[in-house]
Protein backbone atom coordinates (compact mmCIF):
# COMPACT_ATOMS: atom_id res chain seq x y z
CA UNK A 1 0.00 0.00 0.00
CA UNK A 2 1.65 3.15 -1.20
CA UNK A 3 0.51 5.86 1.25
CA UNK A 4 1.20 4.87 4.88
CA UNK A 5 -1.20 7.54 6.18
CA UNK A 6 -4.11 6.02 4.26
CA UNK A 7 -3.07 2.41 3.95
CA UNK A 8 -4.74 0.45 6.73
CA UNK A 9 -2.80 -2.31 8.47
CA UNK A 10 -0.89 -5.51 7.87
CA UNK A 11 -0.96 -8.28 10.50
CA UNK A 12 1.50 -11.12 10.85
CA UNK A 13 0.75 -13.99 13.24
CA UNK A 14 3.67 -15.94 14.65
CA UNK A 15 3.96 -19.17 16.58
CA UNK A 16 7.29 -20.09 18.14
CA UNK A 17 8.93 -17.30 16.15
CA UNK A 18 7.66 -18.53 12.78
CA UNK A 19 5.05 -16.77 10.64
CA UNK A 20 1.87 -18.85 10.51
CA UNK A 21 -0.66 -16.34 9.14
CA UNK A 22 -1.07 -12.87 7.72
CA UNK A 23 -3.80 -10.53 6.56
CA UNK A 24 -4.39 -6.88 5.76
CA UNK A 25 -6.96 -4.13 6.07
CA UNK A 26 -6.84 -1.87 3.02
CA UNK A 27 -8.62 1.47 3.04
CA UNK A 28 -10.84 1.85 -0.04
CA UNK A 29 -12.26 5.28 0.75
CA UNK A 30 -12.98 7.42 3.80
CA UNK A 31 -15.42 4.93 5.31
CA UNK A 32 -14.79 1.55 3.71
CA UNK A 33 -12.05 -1.06 3.98
CA UNK A 34 -11.33 -4.35 2.33
CA UNK A 35 -9.82 -7.29 4.17
CA UNK A 36 -7.15 -8.74 1.93
CA UNK A 37 -4.25 -11.13 1.76
CA UNK A 38 -5.46 -13.54 4.41
CA UNK A 39 -3.25 -16.59 4.47
CA UNK A 40 -2.68 -19.36 7.02
CA UNK A 41 0.17 -21.85 6.71
CA UNK A 42 -0.96 -25.43 6.12
CA UNK A 43 0.45 -26.55 9.48
CA UNK A 44 -1.67 -23.98 11.35
CA UNK A 45 -4.95 -24.61 9.56
CA UNK A 46 -7.91 -26.05 11.43
CA UNK A 47 -6.72 -24.53 14.73
CA UNK A 48 -8.76 -21.32 14.77
CA UNK A 49 -5.92 -19.12 13.50
CA UNK A 50 -7.91 -17.77 10.54
CA UNK A 51 -10.94 -17.03 12.72
CA UNK A 52 -8.81 -15.14 15.25
CA UNK A 53 -6.95 -13.25 12.52
CA UNK A 54 -10.19 -12.22 10.85
CA UNK A 55 -11.57 -10.95 14.16
CA UNK A 56 -8.39 -8.91 14.68
CA UNK A 57 -8.58 -7.46 11.15
CA UNK A 58 -12.23 -6.49 11.63
CA UNK A 59 -11.35 -4.84 14.95
CA UNK A 60 -8.50 -2.95 13.30
CA UNK A 61 -10.83 -1.68 10.58
CA UNK A 62 -13.24 -0.46 13.27
CA UNK A 63 -10.36 1.22 15.15
CA UNK A 64 -9.51 3.06 11.91
CA UNK A 65 -13.17 4.12 11.61
CA UNK A 66 -13.76 1.90 8.60
CA UNK A 67 -16.41 -0.66 7.75
CA UNK A 68 -15.13 -3.74 5.91
CA UNK A 69 -16.90 -4.50 2.64
CA UNK A 70 -19.38 -7.18 3.62
CA UNK A 71 -18.76 -9.54 0.70
CA UNK A 72 -15.08 -9.76 1.63
CA UNK A 73 -15.87 -10.43 5.29
CA UNK A 74 -18.34 -13.20 4.44
CA UNK A 75 -15.83 -14.83 2.10
CA UNK A 76 -13.11 -14.70 4.76
CA UNK A 77 -15.48 -16.16 7.39
CA UNK A 78 -16.29 -19.04 5.03
CA UNK A 79 -12.60 -19.67 4.42
CA UNK A 80 -11.86 -19.43 8.16
CA UNK A 81 -14.51 -22.08 8.91
CA UNK A 82 -13.12 -24.39 6.25
CA UNK A 83 -9.43 -24.03 6.84
List the pLDDT tens digit at each of the 83 positions of the chain. 455 566 789 999 999 999 999 999 988 888 888 888 889 999 998 999 988 998 999 899 888 888 877 656 666 676 677 65
How confident is the model at residue 14, as a pLDDT?
95
How confident is the model at residue 59, as a pLDDT?
92
pTM: 0.76
How confident is the model at residue 12, as a pLDDT?
96
Q: How far apart are CA 40 and CA 33, in angstroms?
A: 21
Amino acid sequence: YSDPEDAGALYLARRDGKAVACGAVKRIDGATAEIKRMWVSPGARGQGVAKALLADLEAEAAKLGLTPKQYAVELMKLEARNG
